[in-house]
């Protein structure tokens, strides 16, 4: 138990350091009561889900790539660790940079539905505090951010597995494995929040 608490604390510290670096790089965002940098939530959550995802994708690797389960565990572990440790933070940093480039370091007008959707998507990496905003906006932000992490994870895991296995496994099978595995895992998360989004919208009517 203490090891898990220590590991979780370390992940939060790593995420906090990354946020600090971004705050220094983008002072306008840091000076505006910057809201919530989503990496602080998403990154620790990804590490907590790592073991079940590794096991699930190892099962898929065993079936799709046709390797024994021990090797499937190795492939899945390495691919998911690389994706979580490198792919997710890089994706978030790119999204934050894009958000700043589009002026998303401060509040956008939210008078129309289109403006609300645009704000939720553009500012998904670093949520900006608004007053009297629709309750569905943060949920849409989470859905978009999860989609971006999922797309990155497909390629990151594929490349990590390809490098680890060398030329011993057909790269088409490796990509199929990564696509199906991430499609299921990230798809399930997106489906959960999509249902939450629909229920939230229905409640507001």
The phi and psi torsions of 126 (rounded to 5 degrees) equal: -135, 95
Pick the closest to residue 37 from 52, 17, 51, 53 (CA basis): 17
Query: Quick one: residue 26, left, alpha or beta (phi over 0 = left, psi -120 to 50 = alpha)?
Result: beta
> Tens-of-pLDDT digits for all 205 residues of the chain?
434 444 444 444 454 444 444 444 544 544 445 578 999 999 999 999 999 999 999 999 999 999 999 999 999 999 999 999 999 999 999 999 999 999 988 889 999 999 999 999 999 999 988 888 899 999 999 999 999 999 999 999 999 999 999 989 999 999 999 999 999 999 999 999 999 999 999 998 6
Q: Show the tokens assigned to 136.
A: 């569905």
Query: CA–CA distance from 28 to each of 23, 74, 91, 160 (Å)?
Result: 8, 43, 21, 36
Domain positions in the chain are 2-204
Q: Show the tokens assigned to 63.
A: 């079936």
């Amino acid at each position: 138990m203490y090891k898990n608490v220590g590991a979780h604390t370390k992940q939060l510290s790593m995420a906090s350091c990354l946020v600090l670096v971004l705050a220094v790089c983008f002072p306008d965002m840091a000076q505006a009561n910057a809201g919530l940098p989503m990496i602080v939530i998403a990154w620790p959550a990804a590490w907590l889900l790592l073991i079940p995802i590794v096991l699930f994708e190892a099962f898929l690797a065993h079936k799709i790539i046709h390797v024994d389960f021990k090797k499937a565990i190795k492939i899945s572990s390495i691919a998911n660790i690389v994706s979580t440790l490198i792919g997710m933070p890089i994706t978030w940093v790119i999204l934050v940079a894009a958000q700043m480039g589009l002026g998303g370091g401060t509040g956008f007008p939210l008078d129309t539905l289109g403006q609300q959707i645009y704000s939720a998507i553009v500012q998904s990496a670093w949520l900006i505090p608004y007053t009297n905003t629709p309750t569905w906006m943060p949920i849409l932000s989470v859905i978009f951010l999860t989609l971006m992490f999922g797309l990155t994870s497909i390629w990151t895991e594929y490349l990590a597995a390809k490098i680890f296995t060398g030329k011993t496994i057909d790269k088409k099978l490796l990509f199929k494995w990564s696509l199906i595995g991430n499609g299921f895992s990230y798809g399930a998360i997106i489906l959960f929040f999509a249902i939450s989004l629909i229920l939230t919208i229905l409640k507001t009517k």
